[in-house]
Structure 1
């Protein structure tokens, strides 16, 4: 059995440099691929999702060199290819949906592949969106692989944003490079902070997008990235959330690399842990979290569903009932995280009720591990990291099955967590 041993911790106390945001990094790599000039992207953590994004633009003809924490592109994507195109986004949900939109930039057949759990996740919003433009898409029951062909026939399209905003991100990034202007009408858009991130990053590359209350987006065609770009990726609030909760339930932590005014939706973790009683303060650009009380809390995670795993652990350590909203956003992740969290927390005696879009966590104070315990990660990076937090204040070892799932977003998590 492939497992990671996590030894018990009486407390956490340390300083950690937060890895760079994989959400910003993948967007920046996509935009760099569309730049006719050179692009340098700095502070780049080589998670598997970032590696997948780099592989895609290379498959599309981009030329670059990578070092430990940066990438320098000397040549963007080659739009003069005549052969059929094929990209493999591996297990990255964002890259799969984002780079599927790149098929709009090519008249020839364009195939999109993936691996692992992404092959079981619906691509219905991608397929219907591309068909709105006039493309023809064949798939495996609305799942990968996708075979995309045909030419653009429409410049005004309507898409569904209820499951994910990732395909909209792809459309926003590619539309400036189309010949015609584009009008995108979006129904029931979720994850608005991620759309703000996309627009902010596009503007830093010199591209313009207008929108009306996130319902109608207007993008002028024939835009280009006119300059050499140097971009530094900010720290990842999603990765930081696990250390923030670790401090809230068992000590103190100082985190570097995060932006106080970040547009990342997962910055809302600070509101949640403060509501749950933790002390949170900044020392210049360093975030400090200290344990105080651990109180039950109510939190709406609809716009930041990746916070469910760490916050469910926080709720488990509170004595009483905590309520979180946004459960419907969890079904189409690396695992069905609502059910996954329900099953795994039962191992420490914590009951979770799932009521439509609401999750109720019946916290026990401090869940105790009476003997060595094995948690399944379900090959889900955020589940693997979250379950590791149950080592805090316990007396027995715990183990994480399929521990390398963390490489998707935070390859150094165990190194960082085990040394604080």
Structure 2
């Protein structure tokens, strides 16, 4: 078991260049694989999820050349082969749902495999959605692996968007390359900012998609990407959220590489820390966060559930009762994050109450860590990063079990955290 020792952090003061967005990167790699021209993707971070997306597209016949932080596409995916297809999405939830939609481009058997926690997460929404298109699917009790067969015979479908928007992202990316026009009707769509990201990037690649109130999406078939594409991936607001909170509870930090006009939903972390009393300021393209008088807060994280782990730590350091809405979005992550956060925060005397769709955090102002404390990441990258923040103001070092879970999204997190 990989265990990381985190020394006491008396204050936060420094500068970090934020890694690039894995959400944008995976989408860009998927679109690049569908291109008939050259594509350069710049500013890529070597996280596990990004590497998984590249491997999937290469298994579909695309050819990339990696040059430092750049990915150069020399050949798109092959749709001519009649051989059975098998892709391995590793532990990436986005890649699993997104690339399952690529089965619509093929008539032959298309297997979707994964590893680790993703094999325990339900794929019912993906299965139901692909059946809408006329596909036949075998699964392991609605979990991976999936075996997808049959022609794509229907082009007006209805899917459920209440659990995740990731499958819809895959459908939107694939739909322009189907032979017929497609209409996707979506019920109860969550995480709308992520769909805005997808549409934004599709437009960058020259693809058209219609959107009516995030309920009806229309796409013309037989579109193509024929022009050379040069795309730079912006900084990752999900990764930045942990360092934003670190500054809000422990000092100050300058963050570079982020876009103030980003479509990423997790940019609202700035709203949350300001509600909790922190000072937020942009200086040219640099973001400055500084601690002020911390106070309890209420925040709706329904559209940005990945912010729960850092927000819970923020609330733990604020004396009083904080409320975060959107708890139902946490069940189908790398761990059941509501229960995981409750269990781990109890180790430092912070009580979490889990209601129907709300989490109540009873912050005690400064979590007391008077003896060495070991937190489990539950093999969840965001839990590992969140628990690391409890070293701020601690009296004794802390330990993170399964610390290398951060490789999934932010491989340099510990290094960056220790420099501030």
Determine if the alignment matches structure 1 residue 108 to structure 2 residue 108.
Answer: yes
Determine if the alignment matches structure 1 residue 67 to structure 2 residue 67.
Answer: yes
Give the CA deviation at 1:226.
1.7
Counterpart CA distance in 2 for 1:72 and 1:2 is 34
Which deviations, in whole Å up to 9, do the C-alpha atoms of 1:31-89 show, x marking residues without a partner? 00000111000000010000000000000000111122110010000111110000000
SS in 2 for 1:347: helix
State the partner residue of 1:411.
411
Counterpart CA distance in 2 for 1:57 and 1:145 is 18
State the partner residue of 1:209.
209
Q: CA RMSD in A?
A: 0.5
State the partner residue of 1:154.
154
State the partner residue of 1:342.
342
State the partner residue of 1:243.
243
State the partner residue of 1:54.
54
State the partner residue of 1:372.
372
State the partner residue of 2:253.
253
State the partner residue of 2:191.
191
Give the CA deviation at 1:150.
0.2
Give the CA deviation at 1:277.
0.2
Give the CA deviation at 1:419.
1.5
SS in 2 for 1:253: strand
SS in 1 for 2:348: coil
State the partner residue of 2:129.
129
Which deviations, in whole Å up to 9, do the C-alpha atoms of 1:237-268 show, x marking residues without a partner? 00000000000000000000000010100000
Give the CA deviation at 1:368.
1.4
Counterpart CA distance in 2 for 1:14 and 1:40 is 32
State the partner residue of 1:93.
93
Counterparts of 1:215-230 in structure 2, within 5 Å, are: 215-230=215-230
Counterpart CA distance in 1 for 2:408 and 2:236 is 13
Which deviations, in whole Å up to 9, do the C-alpha atoms of 1:188-239 show, x marking residues without a partner? 0000000000000000000011011000000000100120100000000000
Give the CA deviation at 1:157.
0.2
Give the CA deviation at 1:411.
0.2
Which deviations, in whole Å up to 9, do the C-alpha atoms of 1:145-195 show, x marking residues without a partner? 000000011110000000000000000000000000000000000000000
Give the CA deviation at 1:418.
1.0
Which deviations, in whole Å up to 9, do the C-alpha atoms of 1:244-300 show, x marking residues without a partner? 000000000000000001010000000000010000000000000000011000000
SS in 2 for 1:157: strand
Structure 2 unmatched runs, 5+: none
State the partner residue of 1:295.
295
SS in 1 for 2:415: helix
Counterpart CA distance in 2 for 1:309 and 1:113 is 28
Give the CA deviation at 1:318.
0.3
Which deviations, in whole Å up to 9, do the C-alpha atoms of 1:119-158 show, x marking residues without a partner? 0000001000000000000000000000000001111000
State the partner residue of 2:42.
42
Give the CA deviation at 1:343.
0.3
Give the CA deviation at 1:2.
2.2
Determine if the alignment matches structure 1 residue 120 to structure 2 residue 129.
Answer: no
Give the CA deviation at 1:374.
0.2
Counterpart CA distance in 1 for 2:293 and 2:192 is 32
How many residues are treated as equivalent by the alignment? Answer: 420
State the partner residue of 1:24.
24
Give the CA deviation at 1:395.
1.7
